[in-house]
Chains A and B, each alone.
Chain A
């Protein structure tokens, strides 16, 4: 059982290295307990940190999905107006966004996994810390310093192993979160810089996105007109009401050709 055995020996040796015999061995108990409490709060912070990163990525996924949906709508509009070139451009950008979204979803799943692991680690440590506290009081009450040594060593190294494990879990979660945060930061910058808004945003952008936007505005007008016509069609001939009149007037303004109103 060489790998498992070696790893057991080495891991325990590392975990126990921190355990220096105090003059009164019972002080070792208090010292270890103090460190356990510190580690517990560290795990709680770790859980919170990972959750924060996870939520940030959720937010980004939402933003990118919104952009992708806008691009989809615009591609459809462009096609309706026989501008396949613009539709292609919009879909190309959308495909780029989809790549990023898929990447973020992978990261999200990883962070969720880390978060769950840390929550479980916290629960395990919590259970052991409580057991240790009980044991600590028993040992202090029952044994003299000389007698207590063996029992103290057992308790302290037993929980020392758990602490080593939990400490490692925190470290791994932090490492993973750190690399993801760097990438999340890059995407935040991209979103903030408006690079992703080029196509849909009202601001500048390149020729194609301006065209697409103009086309979209035209298309909006056409669609609105079509809607109004459809709506007023059954009303127009028969109905008398004044309200219907006003609506009918609006529908008269049929052919506003591409004079982008906004």
Chain B
């Protein structure tokens, strides 16, 4: 347990603070502090579960809650920056099908 173990597996070193940049597609980038990630993680799991269950009825509110969570804890990232996002989220009107397409291509997701 070293004191510097912030976000261990993360690929990006040059972001300045220990926060992350999250992009909501169709909407823009947000700076989100590391503290807020635990909560967002829970919301993220709910969305993922809904996708796996192919349950559009729980998917929609779960996605809206996650995006609202990001908007609430996040601060708009400078528009003229050229920084890559650490995490990317679908637009709020995306269907399960569209999310699947976004995740497809590299075969990272089974089914």
Chain A residues with a Cβ under 8 A of chain B: 1-14, 117, 120-121, 123-124, 127-128, 130-132, 135, 154-155, 157-159, 161, 165, 168-169, 172
Contact = CB atoms under 8 A, between A and B. Distances in A.
B84 A169 contact: no
A2 B82 contact: no
B37 interface: yes
A250 to B, nearest CB: 63
Contact of B85 (A6, A8, A10, A128): A8
A168 B40 CA distance: 24
Contacts of B47: 3
Contact of B80 (A5, A12, A128, A157): A128
B82 A155 contact: yes
A4 B80 contact: no
A11 B102 contact: yes
B72 interface: no
Contacts of A123: 79
30 contacts: A1-B40, A1-B87, A2-B45, A3-B45, A3-B48, A3-B51, A3-B89, A5-B86, A5-B87, A6-B108, A7-B88, A7-B102, A7-B103, A8-B86, A10-B102, A11-B25, A11-B102, A12-B85, A12-B88, A120-B28, A121-B26, A128-B79, A128-B82, A135-B82, A158-B82, A158-B83, A161-B85, A165-B25, A168-B25, A168-B26
A161 B23 contact: yes
Contact of B81 (A2, A12, A131, A168): A131
A154 B83 CA distance: 8
A127 B80 contact: yes
